[in-house]
Amino acid sequence: MKNKEVTIEKHSGEEEKSPKIIVRCVGHEFFYPISDILRLFTGEIPRQEEICVVCDAGAMASSIDPSSSDLILVSSISEDRVETYTEKGAPGEDPWRIFIDKEDMFLPPNREVKRQLYFLLSRLSGRAFPWGSLTGIRPTQVARELTSEEEMTNIYDVRKDKAHLAFLTRDREDLVLSGTDKDSLHVYIGIPFCPSRCAYCSFVAQEAPRKTALLPQYVDAVLSEMDMVLPRIEGKIETLYIGGGTPTVLSEALFEKFIKGVFSHKEFSALKEICVEAGRPDTITEKKLQVLLDAGVKRICINPQTLCDRTLARVGRKHTAEDFEAAFEMARKMGFSIINTDLIAGLPGETTEEFCDSLTRIIKLSPENITVHSLSKKRRASLSREEIVKQEKEELERIEKMLSFASENLLSSGYNPYYMYKQKDTLGGHENVGYSKDGTECVYNVAMMSDQRSVLSFGAGGMSKRVFFGSDDALHVRVERCPCIKDPIQYIAKVDEMTEKKIRFFS
């Protein structure tokens, strides 16, 4: 085993070895599931070293026996048993152990390994997470494999309210999917530019004001990709989603050229749904909205993320809550019948009260869809281990309060959860949930996030995917993905190559 020496600086300037958690894999190589669980408990990024997964102990440090420098665990699959136990560094003399005989095992081995490690670390640390050992990004997919919420709680240690949310969302997702052909295609077009970059942005979006010369070239490249690919793809296109970035960041003239170019394709003549992200209110003008209406678009997203002006300024969004309200009112008056608004729980420095106030004001505006995202990045900056654990705990509780408030108030205001996904880089793995009034669900969002329908993407950073079904239509068998270059300059230079790759992928 090759362990690198990791050191942390103490406040006194004295250096000490940082404790680690080492999970030795015996009889299997399920390094990714093990990494996911270590990341959940420690907040650190694990690394694979030969037959081990190694991680700084981070938030788990206080659970390690002070007389031992590291916590060493064994995750083993033998002929008749799957077990996880502590080898060194756990409090007490006896090993801490969880096992199941193979004849009693009901999960596939990779999930059993993950589940055991979760339960063992949960016992050692005294911590539990809302989604238990479900670190994957699609809890509704797991709900599809189970018969009850209780099962989800018992098997994966998912908290009861989260299991309930997963099943409610699963049922809505299935309802939406039942209105689509399982062999249908759903198209995404990405404009990865924004007026400024938000402090929390994890997308490929670039600042448009710095790239003005690039924007017309980028639009031409996307349109040429569509010209070449669309006539050569089989499959009925049911929905179209134009996202980003912020597509409405384009100048009025370029936006009009782009939208007219998109809708010149006969493949888009019988769409069931078109949605355009006009995400940042400061990019919306009457002229751009009219261009969309003229093209038959009635569904847009206007996303304030918060209605607290102090937070908006803090995260680098160059608009106010008033700008959002004015854009919303203009879109409504002009005839957009379905408007989605996004909010984020956990924006830097935002209090629970500020988030709840934003949500209450948004509900009063009565948009058809409200999507609640969560953001809880870890913060370090020379804190002691105890301070890190305390800070993470407070952060998790803060986000939990926001999400619970959102869920309760949206459900009681006539909104239902209709799609859900989780992000791996958030503390505690909180969920993002799209809520809608009955009959206004965005089919594209469900198709994309449920991994139950194929998606054809155009533009830099887009991910195309094909879903292949087995005999049981309710559960897909296999998803293949085809990513596109993320950098817009590279994308423009290599658009022909991307085009050929996509045609091959869908043939």
Interacting residues toward ligand SF4 by CB under 6 A: 194, 197-198, 201, 203, 205, 244-246, 279-280
CA distances from 335 to 331, 338, 369, 430, 443 (A): 6, 9, 16, 35, 20
What's the closest the beta carbon of residue 304 comes to ligand SF4, in angstroms?
11
Closest CB to ligand SF4 among 26 and 201? 201
What's the closest the beta carbon of residue 191 comes to ligand SF4, in angstroms?
10
Closest CB to ligand SF4 among 197 and 437? 197
What's the closest the beta carbon of residue 312 comes to ligand SF4, in angstroms?
11
According to DSSP, the residues that pair with 185 across neighbouring strands are 237, 454
Count CA atoms closer than 13 A to 369's CA, side-chain side. Answer: 27
CA 322/CA 312 separation, integer angstroms = 11
Query: In the sheet that 71-77 helps form, which strands lie side by side, from edge to edge?
Result: 47-49, 52-56, 20-26, 71-77, 81-88, 97-101
Q: What is the DSSP letter of 203?
A: S
H helices of 318-384, in order, are 321-334, 352-365
Closest CB to ligand SF4 among 314 and 385? 314
CA 80/CA 501 separation, integer angstroms = 45
What's the closest the beta carbon of residue 350 comes to ligand SF4, in angstroms?
15
Closest CB to ligand SF4 among 139 and 247? 247
Closest CB to ligand SF4 among 68 and 202? 202
Q: Cβ atoms within 10 A of the Cβ of 162, count?
A: 23
What's the closest the beta carbon of residue 280 comes to ligand SF4, in angstroms?
6
H helices of 179-277, in order, are 214-229, 252-262
Closest CB to ligand SF4 among 298 and 318? 318
Closest CB to ligand SF4 among 221 and 312? 312
Closest CB to ligand SF4 among 77 and 194? 194
Closest CB to ligand SF4 among 116 and 283? 283
What's the closest the beta carbon of residue 459 comes to ligand SF4, in angstroms?
13
Closest CB to ligand SF4 among 55 and 300? 300
What's the closest the beta carbon of residue 172 comes to ligand SF4, in angstroms?
25
CA 500/CA 495 separation, integer angstroms = 9
- 429: region left, alpha or beta (phi > 0 left; psi from -120 to 50 alpha): left
What's the closest the beta carbon of residue 421 comes to ligand SF4, in angstroms?
16
CA 340/CA 360 separation, integer angstroms = 15
What's the closest the beta carbon of residue 1 comes to ligand SF4, in angstroms?
40
What's the closest the beta carbon of residue 194 comes to ligand SF4, in angstroms?
3
Contact indicator for 235, 182 with CB cutoff of 8 Å:
no
Contact indicator for 246, 191 with CB cutoff of 8 Å:
yes
Closest CB to ligand SF4 among 74 and 249? 249
What's the closest the beta carbon of residue 248 comes to ligand SF4, in angstroms?
11
Structure-block tokens of residue 147:
């018969």
The one-letter code for the residue type at 107 is: L
What's the closest the beta carbon of residue 315 comes to ligand SF4, in angstroms?
8
According to DSSP, the residues that pair with 48 across neighbouring strands are 53
By three-state DSSP, how is residue 351 classified?
A: coil
CA 62/CA 389 separation, integer angstroms = 9
| CA pseudo-torsion sign 327, 330, 334, 336 | positive
Which residue, 238, 146, 143, is CA-closest to 188?
Answer: 238
Q: What is the DSSP letter of 123?
A: H
What's the closest the beta carbon of residue 348 comes to ligand SF4, in angstroms?
13
Residue found by looking up tokens 């939208």 in the block:
259
CA 355/CA 397 separation, integer angstroms = 14
Residue found by looking up tokens 């390994």 in the block:
113
Structure-block tokens of residue 506:
């869908």
Contact indicator for 11, 109 with CB cutoff of 8 Å:
no
Closest CB to ligand SF4 among 61 and 194? 194
Structure-block tokens of residue 385:
């281990």
